[in-house]
Structure formats: C-alpha cells, structure tokens
Amino acid sequence: MGKDVKGRRDFIGMALGGFTALGGIGALYAMKRSWDPLPSVKAAGFTTVDLSAAEENVLSVEKWRGKPIFVLKKSADMKKDPRDVVVGSDHFHVSIGLCTHLGCIPAYKPTDHKFLCACHGGEFDASGHEIFGPPPSPLEIPPFKIDGTTLVLGEAGPEYKKMLDAGLTV
C-alpha cells in the first residue's frame, strides 16, 4: 500500500478517535453534574436563629449545613470585639463551633469566658480568638445576615462582608 494512502487512513481513524473523545468529554460533564450537591441540599443551606431569646453568657448551639454554630450573647463584663455581631446594643459572638486545629467542638466555660477544645487542648476567648495551644486561627464566622433580631445563616449580609474584607474571618 502506498504511503499517502496509509496517511489518509490514519487521519480518518484519528478524526474518529478525536470526535469520540469529544463525546466522552460531554459524558464526563454530565457525570460531574450528577455528583454535584442537589438543589434541595443547596436550598436547605439557610438557617434562621432568633437572637431575642438569647441569655447573656449562655452558649446556644444551632445547626447549620450540618455544622454546630455557636451563638453567645456577651454580658457587660465581656470584652467587645470587631468580630461581634451587633444587634441594637447587644453584642453576640457567632462562629462555626469547630476548632480550627482539627475540627473538634470546643466546650464553653462560662466562668472563664473561654472555649476549650478537649482534643488537643486549644483555647479560644469569648470572641473566638485563639489564645492557647495548636489552633492556628480564630474560630470561623459563618456567612450571616442580620434581619431585625433574627440572624440568617448562609446569606452574606453587609456586616459579614465587612468582616470578610477586614480579614477577621476566612
């Protein structure tokens, strides 16, 4: 067989292979979409927390996207912080209750105004700053929006965006 004839054959074979690969990419895209979180999971990513019922220096834990959310109303003797969620004259500490070291849930000690992580001894103050042990960064603040006296978790309001811009959380 002649050389150029063989070349043309290879070209058709390669064109077919390339075209099949194109279809394969399309199929992969559909497969990727099938792995995405469901719309209902995404829609359920919002939780509302009523702040009006909170008591001072009592930690309440809410669940948002499967994670614990700390809500702590600060009493007058507790230090205010730029990370606080301010509603009227009340200051709240709101954070994702997972230690930034390896993800255990720290316990709140109301007498010391401190969060203690049992796993590796990390400590955070009542504003979520790491003060002792291995945690590399403060407790994270979930995206929130203040709506009257309720807090909508999962939606980024202007107060949250300000904190984000100021680098107070990630």
Partner 1 sequence: MAKFEKANSIGEWLDQRLAIETLKKVMNTEYWIPKNINFLWAMGMVLAATFGILVVSGIFLLMYYKPDTALAFDSVNYTTMTEVGYGWLWRHIHGVGASLVFLVIYIHMFTGIYYGSYKRGRELIWLSGMGLFVAFSAEAFSGYMLPWGQMSYWAGMVITNLFSGGSLEAYGLVEWIRGDYVPADAFLTRFFMLHVFLLPLVIIGLIVLHFGTLRIPHVNNQDGEEFDYAEAAELYKAGKVKESKVIPFSPVFLSKDVFVMGVYFILFFYLVFYHFEFAMDPVNFDPADGLKTPAHIYPEWYFLWSYEILRPFSKDLGLVLFAISQVIFFMLPFLDRSPNVAPASRRGLFKYWFWILLIDVIVLTFMGKLPPTDALFANIGLVAAVLFFVLWIALPFITKSEKKL
Partner 2 sequence: MKELKIFGIVAIFTLVLYWGVEPFAHSQMHKHVDSHGFAYDGTADIAEAVTAEKNDTAEAKKVFWGDVSKISALKGDVAAGEAGFATCMGCHMEGGVNMGGVIPPVLDHAGAIYDKNYLIALIKDPAMATNVDHKYADTSTHPMGSIKMMMTDDQQIADVVAYMMAKKAGEVTTKEAFSEACGRCHAMRYAKTTQLGDTPTFKHEKDTLAHKIKVIDEQSLVKAYMGKLPPDLSIIIRARSAHFMETFVENPQGQMAGTSMPRVGLSHAGYEKVHAYMTEIGDPSKPAREALGPWVLLFFTVFTLLAYFWKRSMWKDHY
Nearer Cβ to partner 2 (9/162): 9
Contact residues for 151 (Cβ-Cβ < 8 A; gap 6+): 48, 49, 51, 71, 85, 92, 94, 144, 145
Q: Are strands 67-73 and 59-64 parallel, antiparallel or unpaired?
A: antiparallel
| CA-based max dimension of the chain | 94
Identified binder of partner 1 from the candidate list 4, 7, 25, 33, rule CB under 8 A = 33
What residues line the site for partner 2 (CB under 8 A)? 1, 8-9, 12-13, 15-16, 19-20, 22-23, 26, 48
Identified binder of partner 1 from the candidate list 4, 36, 77, 165, rule CB under 8 A = 36
Strand ranges, E, within 32-119: 47-50, 59-64, 67-73, 85-87, 90-96, 107-109, 114-116
- Told to check if 31 binds partner 1 by CB under 8 A, we report yes
Give the integer Cα–Cα distance in Å for 108 and 74: 13
76 binds, among partner 1, partner 2, none (CB under 5 to 8 A by kind): none
Q: How far is the CB of 71 from partner 2 (least distance, A)?
A: 15
Q: How far is the CB of 5 from partner 2 (least distance, A)?
A: 8
Q: How far is the CB of 48 from partner 2 (least distance, A)?
A: 8
Nearer Cβ to partner 2 (23/88): 23
Give the binding-site size for partner 1 (rule: CB under 8 A). Answer: 11
Rounded-to-10 torsion of CA 27, 28, 32, 34: 30
36 binds, among partner 1, partner 2, none (CB under 5 to 8 A by kind): partner 1
Helix, strand or coil for residue 29? helix
Chain-centre distance of CA 145, in angstroms? 14
- Told to check if 3 binds partner 1 by CB under 8 A, we report no
